Structure 1
Amino acid sequence: MYLMNISNYSGDLEKFQKDWKNVECFLEKHQLDGVELICYNEEYLETLPRHILKGLHLKYFPTWLEFYKNNHEKVCEMFGGIEGVRQYYGGIHPETLKEAFRNEYQRAQEFGVEYMVYHVSHVTTEHSFTRAFDYTDDDVLDATVELVNQAFDRNSDVMLLFENLWWPGLTLLDKEKAQRFLARINYKNKGIMLDLSHLMITNPKLKTAGEAAEYIIETIEKLGSLKEWIKGIHVNLSLPGDYLTADHQSEYAEILKTEDQFERYIKTVGHIKKIDWHVPFDHPLVKNIIDLIEPEYVVFELQTQNLQQLDDYINIQNKAIGRL
């Protein structure tokens, strides 16, 4: 099943004149079976045709470990006080996270989606610039297991797919860690959503799409039988090695000088976008990756400024895979 990512954010839907019928026509034009949705608010959901909605990308809090562990002082320091904490998480107590994911899970059931996507990662704003992490993969994986087992009904029919990132958490670079993580998740209908860009970012030495494809294939083969747990793929390309290995201390210093929390957020997002590009994987070896994994879902997860660029990107991706 071939899908594309979309959100119900008005800026995203403006590409389609805020009309889901135009989205349907676009999907048909590009031989796509539906969408993987991110919900930012409650807008435009009533008119969303359920038959095109196949997956729900759950909320993602990039920074959550300190909050979950109730390190109140640290969290207030990071978010400029209690109101900043409330604005970011929707509450001031760790239980807020569980409620957020319970609500997302309920929404997935109401929508009748086939799968949900859960980011398994943690990073603070500071460490996104410095990479001087004071938490490990195991710290993030252990806390995620605890949170997921409390927030989701283990017997649901909706598949719960855990997505890899390049920050501490589920990187998929360590087979044993990934196996232990999945084994401890009580949710029965579970699996992995492999994000190709996120895997590329773990290797800053990659310079070309061909090198990236070979690295991904090599990494997947090292997973052995764990490969069978990969049920979906986010297809995109990121080769930010030069940027990733540069010194960003001065950029972080500028953020520290920025008092407005929203402006801080915008600057940080700009930094992340220079790492995670979300452009088409335009090398024919991408088809070899798909053939190797044989996923149920292939999602074109791309970021574009307008409909013409999205149209071009989807065409590039379909051509690389051999669908045109």
Structure 2
Amino acid sequence: MKETINFSLCKTDLAKFDGKWDILKNFLKSHNLSGVELFVDQSPLPQLPNELIIGVHLPYWMGHHRAWADNSVFSCEMEEFEKLFMYGGNCREEVISNFREALSNAASLGAAYGVFHVAYSEPGYIFGHEFECTDLDVFKTTADFLNQSVSDFPHGEPPVRLFFENLWWPGLTFLDPVGVLEFTEMLEFDNWAFVLDTGHLIAAVGNCFHEDQGVDAVLNVLSRHCDEFIDRIEGIHLHCGMSGGYVKNKFKGCYDPDNGSMLLEAMKCVNIIDPHLPFTSDRCREIIDFVSPDFLTHEFISLDLAELDYKIKTQRQALHNKKNNNLFNVN
């Protein structure tokens, strides 16, 4: 099993390592990590140390379901960056083109996989449940989008293995084994697997207030699935967040325009539900043993290198029952 951390080319992530790949390489080595899961979109890539890039996370585009169900969304008045962030482009053809570019970028890096969210959420839905939809609705539009996007690649297969990630929004939650099967039967290609996001599944189950409850919730959901599904879970995003029942209708009608951008307010809500905290209990190992993934990403949100260092140490100690008291020194 290869262990990685999530990373991006954003200034905040690069600044943690003074923009120097050698510092990142030494940091990974100090934690016995194989490399990074890098966020990659359609943007041209700079020169990168490919040997550090194990997998990639593809763009989120959390409103892509609505864009496929309602073409008029592309003519809505909104900031250009918000349209790209939510829908992936200014029209369906551009969204498909951008996704193909992202896949090509991932392939050029030699990534073993590319993570993709099968879910729908946008600010209007979070705060007012506008544009209601079901899991099946999201499966249909996502499968159509993916089938069209990969059809132009050789043999109609994506150039990197697509890892479908669970969330707590409408779409792929992993709560319904029948729903998972319905989605996969709509796909017209075979180069895919699943990535289990533990924090997202805990949020989807809800009413978890401490780690033991979270681990039990994850194991309970997994135990309801068939062996074929478990075998297809080839990756794990390991982290936790005990938001209790906060996710269920907590934000409906609570948006105040005086607080600023609805998108930014929505992101604050998401961070409450999904804080990406490290496991501290060695029971997290039970999840890994149940799934036996090929890849494990310690997926955290951190403001600086010291915080990231602490979170990785904490979770790896819980995971491997080995204590590491050494402080990473960039010098």
The question of a shared fold, defined as TM-score above 0.5 by the shorter chain, is answered with yes
- Show the counterpart of 2:295: 297
The question of whether the paired residues in 2 share the 8 Å contact of 1:8 and 1:40 is answered with: no
For structure 2, list consecutive stretches of 5 or more residues without a partner in the other structure: 323-331
The question of whether the paired residues in 1 share the 8 Å contact of 2:3 and 2:295 is answered with: yes
Q: How does 1:1-324 map to 2 (within 5 A)?
A: 1-39=2-40, 45-46=46-47, 48-72=48-72, 74=73, 76-77=75-76, 79-80=77-78, 85=83, 89=87, 91-131=89-129, 134-152=132-150, 153=153, 154-156=156-158, 158-225=160-227, 226-245=229-248, 247-249=250-252, 251-252=254-255, 254-255=256-257, 263-322=261-320, 324=322
Equivalent AA in structure 2 for residue 233 of structure 1: I
After the TM superposition, which segments of 4 or more aligned residues of structure 1 sit over 4 Å from their partners? 40-44, 74-77, 81-84, 86-90, 130-133
- The TM-score, its normalising length taken from structure 2, stands at 0.88
The question of whether the paired residues in 2 share the 8 Å contact of 1:280 and 1:313 is answered with: yes
- Of stretches 235-244 and 133-142 in structure 1, the one that deviates more from structure 2 is 235-244
Please provide the CA RMSD for this pair: 2.3
- What SS does structure 2 have at the residue aligned with 1:243? coil
Shift, 1:65, TM fit: 2.1
Q: In 1, distance between residues paired with 2:104 and 2:44? A: 17
Shift, 1:66, TM fit: 2.4
Q: In 2, distance between residues paired with 1:83 and 1:313? A: 31
Q: In 2, distance between residues paired with 1:218 and 1:197? A: 14
Shift, 1:76, TM fit: 4.5
Compared with structure 1, are the counterparts of its residues 41 and 159 closer, same or farther at alpha carbon in structure 2 (3 Å cutoff)?
A: closer
Q: In 2, distance between residues paired with 1:143 and 1:319? A: 41
What percent of counterpart residues are identical?
A: 27
Shift, 1:159, TM fit: 1.4
Compared with structure 1, are the counterparts of its residues 84 and 28 closer, same or farther at alpha carbon in structure 2 (3 Å cutoff)?
A: closer
Equivalent AA in structure 1 for residue 61 of structure 2: F
Shift, 1:87, TM fit: 7.4
Compared with structure 1, are the counterparts of its residues 179 and 87 closer, same or farther at alpha carbon in structure 2 (3 Å cutoff)?
A: closer
- Of stretches 81-90 and 198-207 in structure 1, the one that deviates more from structure 2 is 81-90
Aligned residue pairs, count: 316
Compared with structure 1, are the counterparts of its residues 84 and 276 closer, same or farther at alpha carbon in structure 2 (3 Å cutoff)?
A: closer
Shift, 1:41, TM fit: 7.8
For structure 1, list consecutive stretches of 5 or more residues without a partner in the other structure: none
- What SS does structure 1 have at the residue aligned with 2:46? coil
Higher helix share: 1
Q: In 2, distance between residues paired with 1:201 and 1:122? A: 15
- What SS does structure 1 have at the residue aligned with 2:111? coil
- The TM-score, its normalising length taken from structure 1, stands at 0.90
Compared with structure 1, are the counterparts of its residues 133 and 173 closer, same or farther at alpha carbon in structure 2 (3 Å cutoff)?
A: farther
The question of whether the paired residues in 1 share the 8 Å contact of 2:86 and 2:122 is answered with: no
Instruction: Give CA deviations for 1:34-67 in whole Å, capped at 9, x if unaligned.
Output: 1100136858731x21011011100111112222
